[in-house]
Amino acid sequence: MPTIYEAAGVTAPDVVNGTEQKPLEGVSLVYTFNQPKASTQHPVQYFELLGNRAIYKDGWIASTTPLKLPWMTSSEANPDDFQWELYNINEDFSQAHNIVDKNPEKLKELLTVFDAEAKKYNVYPLDSSFTARFDTSIRPSLTRGRTEFTYFPGMTRIPEGTAPDFKNKSWTIAADVTIPPEGASGVLATIGGRFGGWGLWLDENRPRFVYALSNQPAHKFRVSSDQPLTPGNHVVRLAFKYAGGVGKGGTATLFVDGKQVAEGNIPQTLMARFSLDETFDVGEDTGTPIVDDYAAKMPYRFTGTLHKFMVILQPEELTEEHRKELMEIEARAVLASH
């Protein structure tokens, strides 16, 4: 940020909309643009991620040895148990020789610097947990405790933490649509993206649903129908019946106007998080596609009329009011299509 501001000739504001701003953090690197051999003006840099720490100062770096492999997401480690390593970058750029035992005073000096930087930039308290930090269900949310939702076209970029929680439970989604005479295609709703999530869309009037456990082709679980929707009003509904447990599978059943048109097994589901940056979108897909089927058409806005999109979590506990509403919508669609 300091580099961009200086290069663009922008002065960071002290107040924005009446709110006093924090001091701009970091050092501008613009001075290196025309002076690649200039002495550094950035002699200190801290690092911290999931309890792993490092501090660089004047050619020396002290860093901790991680106590778990990066892909061991369920295990936890006490930050106090991390062991520190020490390297002289000026003499050992690739950090091949750990000299912590030979330089205890240098390590002590660098740890004092890290402590000062950590307090300055709000690093403390240290937290090495992984699963809990990425679990949106344990954070404050407007959707917590709710099981029934209604969305409308244009409601996009809804963060996962404020979208319905589709994990580790049964759920039903339903789109109330009108298909024009020329037909319709496009996304009805999606959450997550290529690396995890689900999507419901029409491909030339044909309903398609995919649950993506990962970005691998074998982890794209499809339930779709080759029966095209006729022009007129329809309800496209997907009911997912969960098998129970955490991150387990279930059965996905696709309905059109209350009639089952397809069914498939979803052998495994994501247990804690679909994505860090993908969102819940209605009527289009603003992130990465669930599958590459429509990647070239992104954001693949629905070309028919999407009146509303309903989400019901744990449909076996559906209230009588929403059960009646869903049945009435499907009944109207059936009548209108005939």
Question: Which domain covers residue 98, as residue numbers?
Answer: 2-134
Is residue 299 over pLDDT 90? yes
**pLDDT(21) > 50:** yes
The pLDDT score that the predictor gives to residue 141 is 83
Q: pTM, whole model, 2 decimals? A: 0.71
Query: What confidence score (pLDDT) does residue 260 get?
Result: 97
Give SS3 for 336. helix
Q: Is the pLDDT of residue 237 over 80?
A: yes
> pLDDT digit string (tens) for 93-149?
999 999 999 999 999 999 999 999 999 999 999 988 876 777 777 778 888 889 999
Q: Would you say residue 10 has pLDDT above 50?
A: yes
Residues 83 and 195 in one domain: no
pLDDT of residue 244: 86
Residues 264, 185 within the same domain: yes
The verdict on 32 and 166 lying in the same domain is no
**Domain termination site, one of 113, 134, 155:** 134
Same domain, yes or no, for 118 and 186?
Answer: no
**Do residues 69 and 98 both lie within one domain?**
yes
Please tell me whether residues 289 and 271 are part of one structural domain. Answer: yes
Residues 252-278, mean pLDDT to the nearest whole number: 94
Q: Does the pLDDT of residue 324 top 90, yes or no?
A: no
For 83-87, 273-277, 323-327, which range has the lowest pLDDT when averaged over its residues? Answer: 323-327
Residues 208, 209, 214: CA angle, nearest 5 degrees: 135
pLDDT at 338: 42
In this structure, are 63 and 169 located in the same domain? no
Are 123 and 179 in a shared domain?
no
Mean pLDDT of 71-79: 70
pLDDT (average), residues 313-321: 62
- Could you tell me if 319 and 225 lie in one domain? yes
Q: Is 337 exposed, middle or buried (0-12, 13-18, 19+ CB in 10 A)?
A: middle
For tokens 């200190």, the residue is: 44
The CATH number covering residue 67 comes to 3.30.1120.10
The pLDDT score that the predictor gives to residue 139 is: 79
323 pLDDT exceeds 60? no
Q: Are residues 123 and 175 in the same domain?
A: no
- Say yes or no to pLDDT of 317 above 60: no
Sole residue written with tokens 């979803």: 266
Give the pLDDT confidence of 146-176 residue by residue, as tens digits: 999 999 999 999 999 899 999 999 999 999 9
Q: What is the CATH number of the domain that holds 229?
A: 2.60.120
Euclidean distance between CA atoms 147 and 121, whole angstroms = 39
Query: Are 156 and 211 a contacting pair, CB within 8 Å?
Result: no
Q: What is the mean pLDDT of the chain?
A: 91
More confident residue, 328 or 311: 311
Together in a domain, 45 and 193:
no
Q: Where are the beta strands (DSSP E) in the chain?
A: 15-16, 19-20, 44-49, 52-57, 60-65, 83-88, 148-151, 158-159, 171-179, 186-193, 196-203, 206-212, 220-224, 232-242, 250-256, 259-266, 279-282, 305-313
Give the mean pLDDT of 169-197: 97
With helix as H, strand as E and coil as C, how does 26-75 read? Answer: CCCCHHHCCCCCCCCCCCEEEEEECCEEEEEECCEEEEEECCCCCCCCCC
Q: Residue 222 — very low, low, confident or very high, per pLDDT cuts 50/70/90?
A: very high
Q: How confident is the model at residue 337 (pLDDT cuts 50, 70, 90)?
A: very low
Are 85 and 150 found together in one domain? no
Last residue of a domain, one of 118, 134, 150: 134
Work out the percent of the chain whose per-residue pLDDT is above 90. Answer: 77
Mean pLDDT lowest for which of 20-24, 186-190, 312-316?
Answer: 312-316
State how many domains the chain has.
2
Per-residue model confidence (pLDDT) at position 67: 82
Q: How far is CA 104 from CA 86, 87, 277, in A?
A: 9, 12, 42
Question: Which of the listed residues 134, 160, 187 is the one where a domain comes to its end?
Answer: 134
